A and B are shown apart, each in its own frame.
Chain A
Amino acid sequence: MTPIIKVNNLMFSYPNGVVALRNINLEINKGEIVAIIGHNGSGKTTLVKTFNGLLKPTSGEVLINGVSTKNENTAKLSKIVGYVFQNPDDQIFNNSVYNEVAFGPGNLNLKKEEINKRVLNALEIVGLEKDKKMHTLDLSLNKKKLVTIASIIAMNPEVIILDEPSSGQDHEGTVKIEALIKELQKNHTVIIISHDMNLVSKVASRVIVMWDSNLIFDGDKRTAFMNSDLLKKTDVSPPIITQLAQKIKGFRKDILTADEFIDEIIKLKK
């Protein structure tokens, strides 16, 4: 099976000469939830921008379903790779939630009924059915984020990229987004960029670590959170519960959730 995204020897430098990506190789398969983590400026956002053709490789190639992005424009690639930007205010411009979500599918040359179906479906997935007539300016930040995600879901791309989905979200918002990402996995491949290790540990199965324009780790999240050198280098702290477990003698070092923690206590008691 061809991977949905395949990156070969990707290099990218900005016109001012700053090298943002060095020799990146990776494959992302259908149905995965991949988290990309790393410092600010490590190249995470640049990397995902090459996935939908916003940025073209300086050398090397990015293949989407086996086709190079080189000669494809973003408008076309957006049918396969949807990208939700970090700041909702950069993309929301319509007067109502419904119209905002309908903008993407409208660009795909679909029939009216199909657009309507998709918009309602997307709003239902993110839980905003009741707000469809609301003015976008009256929305809370939590809801604005959900609208931007819905606007990509409505385009029904195979891959959905979420840039910092939990930034600026309160606890309630983060919990909703967690659930939403798990829901999205049923029909989509999901890539998240995040600094929120709680979120990463809960939703992702695979972690890609970027550091100084290089990909320095690509693998299972438990392996990543146990690799102290890696964590030190990138200044990432694993979730609190993992840190706690790692300090207790006799505990497994790769615990990620409260449930696993409790299981471990019960096991030790016996």
Chain B
Amino acid sequence: MPRTILISYIERDSLIHKLNPLTKLTALICVIILAFILGPVNNLILFALILPLSYISKLTWDVFKPIRYLLIIFAILFSIQGLFYPFRLTPLYTIPFTNIIIWKEGIIYAAEISARLLVMMVYGFLFVLTTHPGDLVNALRKLKMPYKVGYIVLSTLHVIPSIQMQVETIIDAQKSRGLDVSGNIIKRLRAYVPLLGPLFIGSVQQAVERTMALEARAFSADCEKTSFRQTVFRKRDRNIIIATVIISVTVGVLSWIY
């Protein structure tokens, strides 16, 4: 039983869950492109739009949980860009009693990147949480994606939670042998070395066994393949795709012009 929250599909009965994965994928791609076009303020508006979406998808706060992983990246971004941004012009703040200056341009640049990351992360997460991996692969296969590539996509999505659980077990096993994983960062990094062996060996062993198990179930059989899970492309999917693309292009063009 995992103690950390896994980043994987959460079953809910919602409109967003029922959409065709391709619809959601198209919307996600639109959002990612927009994130790159828009400035930090507009990106924050885009970020705020996740609220109604997460409400509709009945996931509420689950979508926001991964943000805590981003905080470290933000901290690094702001400190490095604030201090060393190459096109620095305007000093924003001088740390008292030192010559260390924080530059306005660097902070703006860091804000831009952070807002982009934030948007991509939450929307990407919304996609993963509302889309069953099997449905995604099915939908992609209908677009003539090779079966094997489909499996690679699927297994990648599966492998993350399974590795997460394995890491937990391995950490627990070593803690039970007196391994102290607290203390400063170097001490902690050194403490994690014993975990790598079992993890790599375990992963390779699992991969080899999975290959054989797949072959034993006719994975490479040379015939048309059918699937238990069915994805339907409804009229509303088509409408949503058209609407999303039109809105995104308009917003993109408008923000590019102004």
Q: Report whether A108 and B180 are in contact in the complex, using a CB–CB cutoff of 8 Å.
A: no
Report if B208 contacts A (CB, 8 A).
no
Number of A-B contacts (CB under 8 A): 78
Which residues on the B side are within 8 Å of A85 (C-beta)?
169, 172-173, 176
From A14, A79, A103, A152, B3 is in contact (CB under 8 Å) with A14
Q: With A14-B1, A90-B170, A90-B198 given, is the CB distance from A54 to B175 under 8 Å?
A: yes
Asked if B227 is an interface residue, CB under 8 A from chain A, the answer is: no
Contacts of B201 in A (CB 8 A): 89, 137
Extra contacts, 7 of them, besides A18-B1, A54-B172, A75-B175 (Cβ < 8 A), are A15-B4, A74-B176, A82-B177, A90-B170, A91-B177, A151-B177, A155-B177
**Whose C-beta in chain A lies nearest to the C-beta of B193?**
A93
Across-interface contacts of B205 in A (CB, < 8 A): 89
Shortest distance from the beta carbon of B63 to any chain A beta carbon, whole Å:
16
Tell yes or no: A104 within 8 A of B by CB.
Answer: yes
A sample of 23 cross-chain residue pairs with beta-carbon separation below 8 angstroms, ordered by A number, consists of: A14-B3, A46-B1, A52-B176, A75-B175, A75-B178, A75-B180, A78-B178, A79-B178, A82-B177, A89-B198, A89-B201, A90-B169, A90-B173, A90-B198, A91-B174, A93-B194, A93-B197, A93-B198, A94-B197, A103-B177, A104-B177, A108-B178, A155-B177
Contact, CB under 8 Å: A73 / B182: yes
Residues of B close to A82: CB separation below 8 A: 176-177
CB pair A93–B177 under 8 Å, yes or no, is no
Contact B175 A15 (CB under 8 A): no
A residues in contact (CB < 8 Å) with B: 14-16, 18, 20, 46, 49, 52, 54, 73-75, 78-79, 82-83, 85, 87, 89-94, 103-104, 107-108, 137, 151-152, 155
CA distance A260 to B174 in the complex (A): 42
Q: Report how far A266 CA is from B76 CA in the complex, Å.
A: 81
Complex contacts, B3 vs chain A, CB 8 Å: 14-15
Which of B170, B176, B182, B202 is A54 in contact with, Cβ under 8 Å?
B176
Inter-subunit contact B172/A49 (CB<8 Å): yes
Instruction: Report B-chain residues with C-beta under 8 Å of the C-beta of A14.
Output: 1-3
Would you call B189 an interface residue if the criterion is a C-beta within 8 Å of the partner chain's C-beta atoms? no
Chain B, 1-21, CB within 8 A of any chain A CB: 1-5
**Contact present for A75 and B179 (CB under 8 Å):** yes
Q: How far is the CA of A107 from the CA of B205 in the complex (A)?
A: 28
Taking the complex as formed, is B195 at the interface, i.e. its CB lies under 8 A from any CB of chain A?
yes
B182 neighbours in A (Cβ, 8 Å): 73, 75
A73 to B179, CA, bound (A): 10
Q: Which residues of B contact A15 (CB under 8 A)?
A: 3-5
Tell me, in angstroms, the Cα distance from A232 to B8 when the chains sit together.
37
Which residues of the partner chain B approach A79 to less than 8 Å between Cβ atoms? 178
Chain B: minimal CB distance from A16 (Å): 7
Q: Which residue of B lies closest to A74 (CB)?
A: B175
**Contact across chains for B197 and A78 when beta carbons are under 8 A apart:** no
Question: B178 touching A155 by the CB < 8 A rule?
Answer: yes
Instruction: Contact check, A16 vs B175: say whether CB atoms are below 8 A apart.
Output: no
- Residues 159 to 186 of chain B near chain A (Cβ within 8 Å): 166, 169-170, 172-182
Contact of B194 among A16, A83, A103, A152 (CB under 8 A): A103
Contact of A78 among B4, B177, B196 (CB under 8 A): B177
For A107, what are the chain B residues with a Cβ–Cβ distance below 8 Å? 177-180
How far, in Å, is A138 (CB) from chain B's closest CB? 13
Q: Most chain-A CB neighbours within 10 Å: which of B2, B173, B194?
A: B173
Q: Would you list the 9 A-B pairs with minimal beta carbon distance, nearest first?
A: A107-B178, A93-B197, A91-B173, A74-B175, A75-B180, A104-B177, A83-B176, A78-B178, A85-B173
